[in-house]
Every structure is written in C-alpha cells, then in structure tokens.
C-alpha cells in the first residue's frame, strides 16, 4: 500500500529553482541560448511522493505507474535512482515525470520511495540546503560525505534495481 507523503509543499521553492538554473547555466557555453534548455530540464516544479513498504516496493511502484497510465496520464520519463545507490549519491527511489491528460497538459514529478529512502531524503534535506550555499571546497566535501553516509544506510528493496527506465 502506498502512502502519499505531503507537508503541503508540493511546489518547488523559488530559491531552489533559481539555484538549479544558475548551476545548469554555469555548465553551459552559451548562457543566453542555454536558458530555455536549462529551464526545460526542471521537471519537478510540481512534485509528489508516494512511499511503499519495502517488501511491497517493486510491485507497488509498478501498480502506481500502471494506475497513472490507466487514468490517461502520459509517461514522459522514468528514472531508476536505485541504480546509482553504490557510492551513496543522492535521492533513492524511482522518479517518474508525467503529463496530465489534455486540456491541462501539466507536467509533474512523482517520487516513488521506500520507507527507508523517504527517511534518508528527510534526513538529508538540511545537508542539501547547506550544499547550495557552500563557498569552500573543504566544507562541500564534508557535507557530501555526510550525505553519502545517510544514503549509504538505505537498503535496496527486492527487485528495485530491475525497474526499467523510460525512454
């Protein structure tokens, strides 16, 4: 059974969007031409999280994705974030980008997490916020190591690595 996690914060905050745009633009050669590309990469302005018990995780993810498809939503992208688990890098779970049926045609993201990975996201939030404002390489390294330690505590649910990506 899935639990919808929400604290009423289903919209990404303005500061976070600005930080993401600045980070992406800094990596591009032509910043003026790159702005539309950088903005188009941000697909989680509206986002939701569904959390599943570990033993039911893989089946629950597949049921949830099939339920969205059955209601007319279009899958834009599915990323299996469990595959980057080794090394403790970032959010774990499955990230699905969906498009609402017409006429709304709104794109949004659903994070499909295990109970453990949802805990890790909550535990890592303060570290993530600090990383956005870090000015020294040493401090960044310390924060990244702590983030990796937190995500390294999360077990991969049975079958999660086999969830296919799209496209």
Closest CA to 80 of 8, 163, 2, 151: 163
pLDDT digits (tens, 9 = 90+) for 88-121: 678 899 999 999 988 888 889 999 999 999 999 9
Q: Of 106, 98, 91, which is closest to residue 65 (Cα–Cα)?
A: 98
Compute CA 129 distance to the chain's CA centroid, rounded to the nearest angstrom: 15
Backbone angles phi, psi at 93, to 5 degrees: 140, -155
Q: What is the pLDDT of residues 27-84, one digit of tens each?
A: 777 666 676 676 566 666 678 999 999 999 999 999 999 999 999 999 999 999 999 8
């Amino acid at each position: 059974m899935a639990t919808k996690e929400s604290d009423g914060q289903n919209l990404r905050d303005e500061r976070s969007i600005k930080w993401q745009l600045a980070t992406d633009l800094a990596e591009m050669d032509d910043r003026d031409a790159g702005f539309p590309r950088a903005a188009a990469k941000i697909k989680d302005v509206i986002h939701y999280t569904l959390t599943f018990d570990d033993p039911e995780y893989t089946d629950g993810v597949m049921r949830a994705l099939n339920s969205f498809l059955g209601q007319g939503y279009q899958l834009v992208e599915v990323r299996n974030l469990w595959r980057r688990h080794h090394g403790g890098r970032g959010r774990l779970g499955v990230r699905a980008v969906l498009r609402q049926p017409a006429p709304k045609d709104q794109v949004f993201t659903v994070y499909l997490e295990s109970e453990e990975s949802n805990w890790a996201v909550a535990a890592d939030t303060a570290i993530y916020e600090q990383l956005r404002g870090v000015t020294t390489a040493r401090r960044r390294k310390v924060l990244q190591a702590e983030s990796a330690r937190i995500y390294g505590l999360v077990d991969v649910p049975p079958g999660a690595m086999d969830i296919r990506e799209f496209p």
